[in-house]
Homo-oligomer: A and B are copies of this chain.
Amino acid sequence: MNSLTEENYLKTLFILSNETGEVNVIDLSKRLNIKMPTVTSMMKKLADKKLVYYESYKPLRLTEKGKKEAGIIIRKHRLTEMFLVKVMGFGWEEVHEIAEQLEHTRSPSFFEKMDEMLGYPKLDPHGSPIPDKNGKVEWKKYSKLSDCKTGDTLKLAAVIDSSEEFLKFLNSRELKLGLKVKVKSIEPFDGTMVISYGKKQSETLSHTVTERLLGELMDI
């Protein structure tokens, strides 16, 4: 069995790999708020457990075993988020922190039951895919709103950031997944966008916001 600490390293390494391809010690260190020497020694420990390939000064990579275990933790995290929203009535902005804790619960039947009650969902409340019981996951390739051009229409499908602050901001603008947003103009200097969606005729979003919104580009 892996400790809670090890689980957090595995999960974060898995997610970073899918975000950015290569993951270096410093990346994990920043994401986990843990100093680099600590990360190095944990990588050696995980390598001993055959969960990570580790070679000094080389990028960090999960083994197949590591990917599987990480995927299962992410599964538990995302099922929990879905459960908190759909069954318990939490807002999507409230669930990430709670799931961060519950994801370490050791009880297959607890998550089985959630899955069943939810009707075997494929996505979490933030649009991220829920890995299957073997930790396997298909990552859809969405476009970032920030990469759209004037005139494009994007159907929002996922957020890149599940923090309470960001999601509260989206709530305040009535931005939710499923909405079709149209790019009305882009400020060349800093990428600020003016968009329209639903009843909103023109809403201004900073680049910081638009690069955290993913969706499918609609033709027309």
Contact = CB atoms under 8 A, between A and B. Distances in A.
Contacts of A109: 90, 94, 98
A107 interface: yes
Contacts of A218: none
Assembly stoichiometry (copies): 2
A87 interface: yes
Interface string A95-134: 0011001100111011001100100000000000000000
Chain A interface bracket (under 10, 10 to 19, 20 to 34, 35 or more)? 10 to 19
Nearest to A83: B88
Interface string A49-66: 000000000000000000
A76 to B, nearest CB: 12
Contact of A105 (B88, B98, B117): B98
Contacts of A97: 107
B89 A113 contact: yes
- Identify whether the interface residues of A are mostly helix, strand, loop, or mixed: helix
Interface in A69-91: 84, 87-90
20 contacts: A84-B110, A87-B87, A88-B110, A88-B113, A88-B114, A88-B117, A89-B113, A90-B109, A90-B113, A94-B109, A97-B107, A98-B105, A98-B107, A98-B109, A98-B110, A101-B105, A101-B106, A101-B107, A102-B102, A102-B105
Contacts of A84: 110
Contacts of A88: 110, 113-114, 117
